[in-house]
Amino acid sequence: MKKKVEVQDLGYKDYKETWDYQESLFKGIVDLKIKNRRENLNIDTPNYFLFVEHPHVYTLGKSGDISNMLLNEGQLAAKGATFYKINRGGDITYHGPGQIVGYPILDLDNFFTDIHKYLRFLEEVIILTLQEYGLKGMRSEGETGVWLDVGTPFARKICAMGVRASRWVTMHGFALNVNTDLGYFDNIIPCGIRGKAVTSLNVELGKKEVPVNEVKAKLLQHFSLLFEAELSEKIKTEA
134 marked ligand binding residue: no
Number of neighbours of residue 24 by Cβ within 10 angstroms: 10
Spatial CA neighbour of 65 closest among 83, 91, 89: 91
86 marked ligand binding residue: no
- 152-172: b or e for each residue (b if 16 or more CB lie within 10 Å)? eeebbbbbbbbbbbeebbbbb
Q: Which amino acid is at 147?
A: W
90 marked ligand binding residue: yes
92 marked ligand binding residue: yes
194 marked ligand binding residue: no
Q: What is the DSSP letter of 165?
A: E
C-beta pairs of 66-71 under 8 Å, 24+ apart in sequence: 68/92, 68/188, 68/189, 68/192, 69/187, 69/188, 70/187, 70/188, 70/189, 71/187, 71/188
Spatial CA neighbour of 157 closest among 239, 226, 93: 93
120 marked ligand binding residue: no
Q: Which amino acid is at 18?
A: T
91 marked ligand binding residue: yes
175 marked ligand binding residue: yes
Pair 102, 49: CB distance under 8 Å: yes
95 marked ligand binding residue: yes
Residues assigned a catalytic role:
191
94 marked ligand binding residue: yes
Largest CA distance in the chain: 57
Q: Which residue ranges make up the annotated binding site? A: 88-95, 160-162, 173-175
Q: Which residue ranges make up the annotated binding site for substrate? A: 88-95, 160-162, 173-175
